[in-house]
Chains A and B, each alone.
Chain A
Amino acid sequence: MAEVGRHPQLNRNGELHHLLSIEELPRAILERILTTADSFINLAEREVKSVPLLRGRSVFNLFFENSTRTRTTFEIAARRLSADVFNLDITRSSTAKGESLLDTINNLTAMQADMFVVRHASSGAPYLIARHVAPHVHVINAGDGRHAHPTQGLLDMYTIRHYKRDFTQLTVAIVGDILHSRVARSAIHGLTTLGVPEVRAVGPLTLLPGGLEQLGVRVCTRLEDGIRGADVIIMLRLQNERMKGALLPSAQEYFRNYGLTPEKLQLARTDAIVMHPGPMNRGVEIDSHVADGTQSVILPQVTFGIAVRMAVLALVSSSQRMQ
């Protein structure tokens, strides 16, 4: 096991070896990922949709938490790079049978895995795995607890760059359950690294963690204040289990205050784009007229997501051994 003090994601040459979080990655690496994704974006329209970059490599999708969507896009991305893909749905109930997380990793490494794509309910779990794997193995975080969802963050950055070109003139609002959202954290780090001057976190105080300002965002508790003049609005999914209880009284009241409707959207710039990581709760965080409207870029996000994940897989696999 490697020592704890080493950079968890970069190797000695400063190349991206694991993708665990957008935080602490240099701007040049983020830009390289976005540029690499450009080269994959048109691949989908070609007759032969794959390239042989990862031929002979084994990618294991290791999902300790269910997510058909993210897993599928990673699978498509890996297949288009000609990798051998193995999907393992290791839900909480089977790990409860006694095998520890690291035993599972040891077993799969013995099956000659080259790359693990990991989704886990605990913040930080991919770091534990990355510290444990052999030097040639790569770990990609596909979402860990509330901590990070870096490929989602990168596809959000790709989407923003596609529609807005220049990050350094933008105002971006992230709206909803920031407290529990790994998507929000990854977006915040991506935006601040790429030079967005104003990032706003918008939500009721029950869903905003303390100390958020220190991540470089402006906190707004009213939707109107948060989206006024914004170029980009990222709506977050409100999980079912948060809709009633001590954090929020009801989905209806949430929608009244934080749901994005066509009327409220008029407060943003006329060319503002609306994003959402999916799956959407129509009528809870977003009105259908907005979700399906002309300013929505929610479906292009999904398409870009495949190209961005291909770029990440291709880049990490080309890095030197982690030593």
Chain B
Amino acid sequence: MKLAIRNGRVVDPASKVDGRADVFVDDGRIVAIGTAPHGFSAERTLDATGLIVAPGLVDLCARMREPGADGALKVESHAALAGGITGVVCPPDTDPPLDEPGLVRMLRQRSREAAGARLYPLGALTAGLGGEALAEIETLAEVGCVAFAQTGSLPHDNSVLLQAMRYARTFDLPLWLRPVEDTLAGRGVAAAGAVAARLGLASVPDVAETVALHTVFELQRATGARIHLCRLSSSNGVELVRRAKREGLPVTCDVGIHHVHLIDVDIGYFDSNFRLDPPLRTSRDRDAIRTGLADGTIDAICSDHTPVDEDMKQVPFGEAESGEQAIEFVNESKPNLVLMDINLPGMNGLECTRILKSQHPEVAVFVITSNNAENYRAAAIEAGASEYIPKSQIRKELVRILSRHS
């Protein structure tokens, strides 16, 4: 079919076109912009007066809910298409995470069948996104993953991040990282500042982002890995990226669309529609993000589309910190045994153990952790834990210990 799109404003950054022009399409291919090719006779003409005619947009982050929710991919990818988005990068924080070639093959197959927006899957950087062992990223790249991501925050363990960068550099694969140092971010639900102070919300300080950025850049200098930074949120963060780019580090970055328009004040009276990750920051941060977009420091805006159940928004804006919640829970439910993770947001597991044991010496606490270092074992025992169990052996060890106790 021959199609003419007339009188639109044609915007195509790749060919540096921005102006009023007609576009001529023959059998799904653009055959000319400007004047019709010789002998072109349109079977259909669209009047695009007042509209923008542009190539399909690519969204660098939209969750398609598959694997996890069967059938969701078709709905989501057609919704994207309806919005002019023809390509979607989907992050690996699915259920299960995208860490196996079989899953990626299946996902791509379903995407072809859905015939919606084109899918560009990100593979999990670490097995199960656990932040400990590398996933088979070279094989995942082979089956179609465009890059590899650790979602949520940087891996807890800097040596894992260092090795991941080295390994990725070996095959020249790019990594997509969230510049969040989660020991500093804790379980904060609002950016640190006057709004969080006023509303009494647990807050995320700026340094949770800047410390992570410094870590990433320093490891990049050591390894030369290509990095894309996802969801920058602070003014100081934008400045660090600007300097890294000036220095010549192979880095790109994006922001979520919300952070271009909204600020912490929009939370209003605890409106849970504005509970975002990263949290909304001040107007100064928003202005820095806009400047960063204008001067090219920030390369892309993404939707960060995350379908959330309406029910999930019908809960209080911020929950109490987990360590404190754990203590309160023990106070009320008086269990015999507590399995304690070291990596708790807010108050950490060791601190929590110490307080639990001082208030409830009769409760047994087993510390479970992914960290095998001996000094942690000593610290856990010193805090009052009666056992220290690596996560990898939890089933075996629990059975052994419990059968000994009973």
Which one of A120, A212, A245 has the highest number of Cβ atoms from chain B below 10 Å of its Cβ? Answer: A245
Stretch at the interface among A51-59, A143-151, A267-275, A304-312: A143-151
Stretch at the interface among A124-132, A229-237, A258-266, A285-293: A124-132
In the complex, B317 has a CB within 8 A of chain A: yes
CB distance from A180 to the nearest CB of B (A): 8
Which one of A91, A101, A123, A209 has the highest number of Cβ atoms from chain B below 10 Å of its Cβ? Answer: A123
In the complex, B13 has a CB within 8 A of chain A: no
In the complex, A185 has a CB within 8 A of chain B: yes
Stretch at the interface among B15-23, B57-65, B190-198, B244-252: B190-198
Question: Do residues B270 and A246 form an inter-chain contact, with CB atoms below 8 A?
Answer: no
Question: Do residues A123 and B270 form an inter-chain contact, with CB atoms below 8 A?
Answer: yes
Question: Do residues A120 and B316 form an inter-chain contact, with CB atoms below 8 A?
Answer: yes
Q: Per-position contact with A for B201-225: 1 when CB-CB < 8 Å, else 0?
A: 1110100000000000000000000
B195 contacts which chain A residues (CB < 8 A)?
Answer: 211
Given A124-B199, A128-B270, the answer on whether A91 and B332 have CB atoms closer than 8 Å is yes
A214 contacts which chain B residues (CB < 8 A)?
Answer: 194, 197-198
Q: How far is the CA of A317 from the CA of B192 in the complex (A)?
A: 37
Q: Per-position contact with B for A136-179: 1 when CB-CB < 8 Å, else 0?
A: 00000000111110000000000000000000000000000000
Question: Do residues B329 and A122 form an inter-chain contact, with CB atoms below 8 A?
Answer: no
Question: Do residues B199 and A147 form an inter-chain contact, with CB atoms below 8 A?
Answer: yes
In the complex, B109 has a CB within 8 A of chain A: no
CB nearest to A209 among chain B residues: B197
Q: Per-position contact with A for B328-347: 1 when CB-CB < 8 Å, else 0?
A: 11001100000000000001
Question: Do residues B314 and A100 form an inter-chain contact, with CB atoms below 8 A?
Answer: yes
Question: Do residues B351 and A246 form an inter-chain contact, with CB atoms below 8 A?
Answer: yes
Given A92-B328, A127-B269, A211-B193, the answer on whether A101 and B316 have CB atoms closer than 8 Å is yes
A107 contacts which chain B residues (CB < 8 A)?
Answer: none
Question: Do residues A100 and B311 form an inter-chain contact, with CB atoms below 8 A?
Answer: yes
A185 contacts which chain B residues (CB < 8 A)?
Answer: 198, 200
Question: Do residues B197 and A121 form an inter-chain contact, with CB atoms below 8 A?
Answer: no
Question: Do residues A210 and B200 form an inter-chain contact, with CB atoms below 8 A?
Answer: no
CB distance from B105 to the nearest CB of A (A): 38
Question: Do residues B329 and A123 form an inter-chain contact, with CB atoms below 8 A?
Answer: no
A: contact size bracket: 35 or more
Question: Do residues A145 and B355 form an inter-chain contact, with CB atoms below 8 A?
Answer: no
A-B contact count (CB 8 A): 113
CB distance from A209 to the nearest CB of B (A): 4
In the complex, A190 has a CB within 8 A of chain B: no
CB distance from B331 to the nearest CB of A (A): 8
Question: Do residues B332 and A92 form an inter-chain contact, with CB atoms below 8 A?
Answer: yes
CB nearest to A181 among chain B residues: B200
Question: Do residues A148 and B355 form an inter-chain contact, with CB atoms below 8 A?
Answer: no
Q: How far is the CA of A128 from the CA of B314 in the complex (A)?
A: 8
Q: How far is the CA of A148 from the CA of B200 in the complex (A)?
A: 8
Among candidates B193, B200, B271, residue contacting A146 with C-beta atoms closer than 8 Å: B200
CB distance from B294 to the nearest CB of A (A): 28
In the complex, A4 has a CB within 8 A of chain B: yes
B359 contacts which chain A residues (CB < 8 A)?
Answer: 240
B79 contacts which chain A residues (CB < 8 A)?
Answer: none
A101 contacts which chain B residues (CB < 8 A)?
Answer: 314-316
CB nearest to A65 among chain B residues: B328
B12 contacts which chain A residues (CB < 8 A)?
Answer: none
Q: How far is the CA of A161 from the CA of B329 in the complex (A)?
A: 39
Q: Per-position contact with A for B341-377: 1 when CB-CB < 8 Å, else 0?
A: 0000001000100110001000000000000000000
In the complex, B319 has a CB within 8 A of chain A: yes
A102 contacts which chain B residues (CB < 8 A)?
Answer: 314
B197 contacts which chain A residues (CB < 8 A)?
Answer: 209-212, 214-215
In the complex, A93 has a CB within 8 A of chain B: yes
Q: How far is the CA of A121 from the CA of B346 in the complex (A)?
A: 15
Q: How far is the CA of A102 from the CA of B359 in the complex (A)?
A: 33
In the complex, B268 has a CB within 8 A of chain A: yes
Question: Do residues B333 and A241 form an inter-chain contact, with CB atoms below 8 A?
Answer: no
Among candidates B192, B270, B327, residue contacting A211 with C-beta atoms closer than 8 Å: B192
Q: Which A residues contact B (CB, under 8 angstroms)? A: 4, 8, 23, 65-66, 91-93, 100-102, 120-125, 127-128, 144-148, 182, 185, 209-212, 214-215, 240-241, 244-246
Extra contacts, 18 of them, besides A4-B268, A123-B199, A124-B199 (Cβ < 8 A), are A65-B328, A92-B325, A122-B319, A124-B201, A124-B317, A128-B314, A128-B316, A144-B316, A145-B320, A147-B201, A185-B200, A211-B193, A214-B197, A215-B194, A215-B198, A240-B355, A241-B323, A246-B351
